Amino acid sequence: MNKDDENKLTDTLIYLGLTMNKLLNEVKKLRGDVQQLQKQQAKTNYALGEMRLSYMTLDESFNKYAELNNRIVKNHETRIVHLEEKTPGSSYFAKDTEVKYGKRKGKK
């Protein structure tokens, strides 16, 4: 091997070493980014779990509220049926009271 070929080979090895160093730094940077993303994903998963639990609790309380309202409506329905049975003419319609409003005093 002549001196020129040795210099080319040395330059190529130096370039290869520098390129490997750059690649190593990039890999380290990407590894750090991946770790940050993993931490963020863990936080997001935890928050989603908490939200799911809160929705389940809310659904449970809403179902209790809806069941209570259904019982109230059924009781009112029973009372209306009793009123209709006892009212002459066998029909009873609940009416809203009519409110008559007076004239408003103007602002001075």
Asked whether residue 20 is assigned to any structural domain, the reply reads yes
Domain that holds residue 58: 11-90
Per-residue pLDDT of the chain in tens (108 residues, 90 and over written 9): 788 889 999 999 999 999 999 999 999 999 999 999 999 999 999 999 999 999 888 888 888 888 888 888 888 888 877 777 777 665 555 556 666 777 777 665
With CA atoms as reference, report the closest residue to 7 among 15, 69, 103, 61: 15
Diameter of the chain by CA atoms?
126
CA pair distance 69, 76, nearest whole angstrom: 11
Q: What local confidence, expressed as pLDDT, does residue 70 receive?
A: 86
Whether residue 106 lies inside any domain: the answer is: no
CA angle 63, 65, 66 (to 5 degrees): 65
Q: Is residue 108 part of a domain?
A: no
What's the rounded Cα separation, in Å, for the pair 90 and 87? 5
Q: Distance (Å, rounded) from C-alpha 7 to C-alpha 81?
A: 107
Give the rounded distance of the alpha carbon of 91 from its chain centre: 49
> Residue 33: inside a domain, yes or no?
yes
Q: Is residue 103 part of a domain?
A: no
Q: Domain total for the chain?
A: 1
